[in-house]
Amino acid sequence: MTSPTKAEGSGPSVALDPELASTTEADKPKKLEGRSPGQLMWQRFRRDRTGMISAGVVIFFFVVSALAPVISSLYGKNPYTLYAQEPDYPFLLDDFAMPTGTFGGVSGEFWFGVEPKLGRDVFTMLLYGIRNSLYMALVLTTLCVVTGVLIGLVSGYFGGKVDYWLGRVTDFFLSFPNQLFFIAFMPIVTAMFVSPTDETPTYLRVVAIILVMWFLGWMSLARLVRGSVLSLREREFVEAAKVSGASRWRIVRKEILPNVVTPILVQATYTLPSSILNIAFLSFVGVGLVEPTPDWGRMFAIGADTYEQDPAFLLFPGAALVIFILAFNLLGDSVRDAFDPKTGR
């Protein structure tokens, strides 16, 4: 939390004495609208070049995945067609089902090359893979944030027994080994919806992935929010609200929540990239999305199979992932610095 005193020191704010204020107010009426903590934060953020660049990269990824259908129709290909079998593109793959062209088959037709074995277009595969991962990660992050904030708020504000039991539940979930749990429970969760002998529709797989990861994704935020609320609850402005007769709900909504937005936002910017990594991990080990749905994580699985013959295939999905995760984490750091100029580093 930015303490007000700190904010005063770092921002170019003016603090006049009432006596002085009454004499000098006439000549600067334009300055009087005041800057909110949010505006100050935005100013600090804009001065942070790393933050601005990573924000640009992140926005670029979001725009590209939102526009994936448009881009691929302009580009004239899709991620499902096996171009090696199309008569238009002879000799796309050699006898060993590896791309014939240089560098994984990169050409004017296939910007990022051709997939080994099946001969699909890497560019659109990646495009849609990123799109699917991002959407899932967004939904997942939203769910985790909402759950974490709710649980954190309740246990922090109400305290006592409620806090104790919610705390134990949080501890319990924290003690699960994440990745083992994901792998073990994905089939179980899917089986809850469809019988294992039938084919699972893609949307169900998506729901299952999100459910399983949501289950173990909300705890860190709940703890964070609980801690902030615990300290805010004792602040005198909360007591002032109580003295004025405000209900508990109003106090939580108007007095406490606006003050925990900062840590929530910062935490969310860290949660999203880690969700992407987790989703990719699931697909990589084969319990996430399956063929033919394009998926970022599964491209690594394909690449891992053939990297000795066709190392170029891994380059584009790998670089995209590294750039995205890096940019998002840097963005998270910058957001935190902008909110809290005195902490960190």
Residue 155 half-sphere exposure toward CB, CA atoms < 13 A: 23
Report the residue number, 37 or 101, with the smaller CB distance to other proteins.
37
Smallest distance from other proteins to CB 55, Å: 23
C-alpha distances in Å from residue 181, one per residue of 216, 263, 306, 335? 9, 28, 28, 32
Minimum separation from the CB atom of position 9 to other proteins (A):
10
Considering beta carbons, is residue 12 or 344 the nearer one to other proteins? 12
Q: How far is the CB of 263 from other proteins (least distance, A)?
A: 13
Question: Where is 310: in which H helix or E strand?
Answer: none
Measured from the CB atom, is 257 or 315 closer to other proteins?
257
CB of 228 to other proteins, least distance (A): 13
Residue with Cβ nearer other proteins (46 or 248): 248
Pick between residue 14 and residue 162 the one whose CB is nearest to other proteins. 14
Least distance in Å: CB of 21 to other proteins? 5
C-beta closer to other proteins: residue 5 or 175: 5
Question: Can you give 190-225 as a three-state secondary structure string?
Answer: HHHHCCCCCCCCHHHHHHHHHHHHHHCCCHHHHHHH
Shortest distance, position 231 Cβ to other proteins, whole Å: 10
* Length of the chain in terms of residues written: 345
Q: Where are the beta strands (DSSP E) in the chain?
A: none
- In angstroms, rounded to a whole number, what is the distance separating the alpha carbons of residues 233 and 34? 26
Residue 177 or 258: the one with the smaller Cβ distance to other proteins is: 258
Which are the contacts of 44, defined by CB distance < 8 A and separation ≥ 6?
10, 337, 338, 341
Round to whole Å and give the CA distance between 172 and 210.
20
CA distances from 129 to 135, 246, 278, 279, 293 (A): 10, 49, 14, 11, 8
Tokens coding 42: 């935005």
CB of 13 to other proteins, least distance (A): 5
Enumerate binding residues for other proteins (CB under 8 A).
Answer: 2-5, 7-8, 11, 13-18, 21-22, 25, 29, 32-37, 235-237, 239-247, 250, 254-255, 258-259
